[in-house]
Amino acid sequence: MRERFSICLGIACIMALSNAIVPVLPSYSSGPAIQGMIYSAYFLGAFLMTLPAGLLSDRYGRVPVMRAGLTVTVISGLLLIVFSSPALVIASRILEGIGAGLFVAAGMAYVNSLVDHAKMSGYFMAALNLGVVLGLVTGGVLAAQFHMPAAGILLFSILALIPACLSACLVESPRAAVLDSRTDLASLLSDYQWLWYSAVVLVGITGVVIALYPEYSDVSPDVVGFWIAGMSVATIIAVIASSRLSMASVHSIRIAAVFMAGGVMLSFFSPVGFLVIGALAGVVMIAQMACLARINGNQGAAMGLLSTTSYLGMSVLPFIAGVVAETTTFFIAFCLTALAALVVALTI
């Protein structure tokens, strides 16, 4: 029980720390370009590290890689408190992403190696999304309360020390005792190619609606923040519920893809679509992990690929949708995004 608590607390603190800087980005730079670089630097570090972290966890064990991720996370948080130069802040955010990549890939592999991986994956993903919400809300509130932009970063850096210390008690799960260092990435990529596509699209869609909605809507920023937080809350509820249901994983992804296409179009007309997309994303995440749990060995590589393709979707799809919206119309951008979700339903 203590091991599972430390893993869930660890991912919650990592996600909270990564988002605590978002409400106070103007304090680190006055220009939107540099602010965007600071924000994106974290995702770059995570994208680059998740697959290597998965391979390392297969070779050396999940626990050492999770410990390394928590250590790097704490260090990066402390650096963000000390540094004010945009270049050093960007470097610290990349380091923060590296720490997250190490922990996420190894943590997901650890969860999927447990006997009760279905239920535990729900807790893990719920903790992940809870951390996102806490980081966004707490970072802004503490900064305003104490007139200190890094107050939220300081809080979650300190809190991350708790799972970092608890990780000393972690032991490898029985199913992960025999590790395969000869991971065949080509086979994984080929055998599950449409699952990777589903991760890019269905997870990336959450980033698309978050990126596009504020620009074309007349809704105030605080209300937009409310709906974005609501999306994460819907995901939390969905991952807990779906992890306790016995549903065919591929069938679940197919159905969720169809409804997510509808959710995308709904979000064009109403922010209620945020809640629909958030809930369906939760169903998809649990189904994807359940599908990959069938792999004997190489869970680190599988979870590393799943995390990498998810981060890729969050990075690439909002950019593509933004270009389409700027060169054509927002409606066409939403329609093409919905079409991409329907392709998942046809190919998974």
Per-residue pLDDT at 240 exceeds 50: yes
Sign of the Cα torsion 160, 163, 167, 172 reads negative
Task: Please give the average per-residue pLDDT across 331-335, as a whole number.
Answer: 94
Task: Please give the average per-residue pLDDT across 239-251, as a whole number.
Answer: 86
> What is the pLDDT, as a whole number, of residue 179?
47
At residue 69, what is the residue type? G
- The per-residue pLDDT of the chain, averaged, comes to 88
CA distance 225 to 38: 19
Task: Please give the average per-residue pLDDT across 284-305, as a whole number.
Answer: 87
Under the banding of pLDDT at 50, 70 and 90, the label for residue 12 is: very high
Closest among 191, 335, 194, 198 to 280, alpha carbons compared: 198
Instruction: Give me the residue label for tokens 């909002």.
Output: 318
Sign of the Cα torsion 23, 149, 90, 93 reads negative
Task: Please give the average per-residue pLDDT across 107-116, as a whole number.
Answer: 87
At residue 15, what is the residue type? M
CA distance 54 to 113: 13
User: Would you say 331 and 268 are in contact if contact means Cβ atoms under 8 Å apart?
Assistant: yes
**Rg of the chain on CA atoms, in Å:** 19
Higher model confidence: residue 277 or residue 177?
Answer: 277
Per-residue pLDDT at 135 exceeds 60: yes
Under the banding of pLDDT at 50, 70 and 90, the label for residue 177 is: very low
CA distances (Å), origin 290, targets 125, 234, 239: 13, 20, 12
> What is the pLDDT, as a whole number, of residue 275?
94
Higher model confidence: residue 69 or residue 227?
Answer: 69
Structural domains of the chain, ranges and CATH numbers in brackets:
2-169 (1.20.1250.20), 186-347 (1.20.1250.20)
The reported pTM is 0.84
Closest among 138, 115, 110 to 15, alpha carbons compared: 138
For the chain, what percent of residues have pLDDT higher than 70? 94
Per-residue pLDDT at 337 exceeds 90: yes
The region of weakest confidence among 46-50, 168-172, 279-283, 330-334 is 168-172
